[in-house]
Structure 1
Amino acid sequence: MGTRKEQAEWRREQLLDAALRVFAAKGVDGASVKDLAEAAGVTPGLLYRYFVSKEALVETVLRERGFMPRLRELLTADRSGRPARQVLVELLVSFDALLAGNAELMAVFFSAARARAALAELTGEGQRLIGAFLDDRVAAGELPPHDTGTAARTLFATVAVNRATGSPIDVPALVELLYPEER
C-alpha cells in the first residue's frame, strides 16, 4: 500500500469519511466514539491515535471537509471587472449549490453543538471573506458606504439557514433587498 506515512494518511482519511457519515446519521452529540470506530472498522484506541478527542475529530471534519476552501476559492477569484451585485448573486448561488451538494456536511454543521468554537471560526471566516469583498467594492465606489459586516453575516446566514431548512431562496431578490439597483 505504500510507505507508513501514506498508510497513516489513508487511515486518517478513512476515519474522517466514517466520522462524516456517522455524525450526519446520528448527530454529533448522538454519535459515540464506539460508533465512530465501528463505522471505520477500527478500535476506539486507534481512533484516539489520530484524534485526541471526539471534539477534535468534529473540528477536523468541519475544517477539512467543509465549505470554506471552496467558498474561499469563490470569493478570491478575480471578478474585478464585473458589477458587485452580479458577483454577489453568483457567489451566493454557488454557496447555496455547495451546501446543497453536501447534505452530510450540512447535518454535521448544524448538529455540532459540541464544536461551537470550530463553527464560530468557520462561519466567521466565511463572513469575513464576504465582508472583505463588500469592503473592496465600497472602497471602489461601486457600493454605498454601509455596515459590510452585518451585510456579510446576513447574506451568509440567510443562504445557510434557508438551505438547512429546505426553503427555496431567491438569491437575486436577497441581493436586491440589500443592494437595490439605482433607478
Structure 2
Amino acid sequence: MSVKILALVGSLRSGSHNRQLAEAARENAPADVEIEIFEGLGDVPFYNEDVDGEGSAPEAAARLRAATAQADALLLLSPEYNGTMSAVLNNAIDWLSRPFGAGVISDKPTAVIGTAFGQYGGVWAQDEARKSAGVAGARIIEDVKLSIPGSMTRFAELHPADDAEVVEQVTEVLGKLAANIDG
C-alpha cells in the first residue's frame, strides 16, 4: 500500500530551511511513502467565513483542501516566529478546519516537525502547531517529533538532505507517521 503525505511548510522564504527539510523528507521517504509539498500557501487568503460559502471558497483555499483530502496524512513544518508558529501555517489550519467538525483535517494523522535558528529548534512553534491542528480536528501523532536547532549555521552550506543525521531522523519520522495511518 502506498501512503501519500502532504507537507505544509510554514515559511514562504525562498531559502527556507523548513522548505529544505520538506525536500529532504521527499527525497528520503521510504519506498511506500510519497511526499507532496504543497505549493501556494502564500496564495491562500486569510480565513474569512464571509468568503467561505459552500462551493465558493477562494481557488487557493479550495486547492489546499483538495490536496489535503487526497492525502493520507499531513506533515506540518513549522519555523518559529516570535515564539510561535507562522501566520501562514495557522491560516492553512484554519481553512482546513472548516466547516468545523467536518473539515478535511478531521481525524487526519498529523505530525509536526521543523528547524529554527534558536537552541531548541522551534519547539514552541511546533507545540503551538500541534495544539492548533489538534483543536481543528487533526489526529496528532504525539510521539513523532523533530526539532532541529541552529538552522542558520547548521544549514548555511549543507542542505538537510545531505546531512546524514537529519536524513535518519526524517526517515524515522515518516515511518512512524505512515504507521499511524489507518488502512
Structure with a larger share of its residues in strand:
2
Could you tell me the TM-score, scaled by structure 2's length?
A: 0.29
Structure showing greater Rg? 1
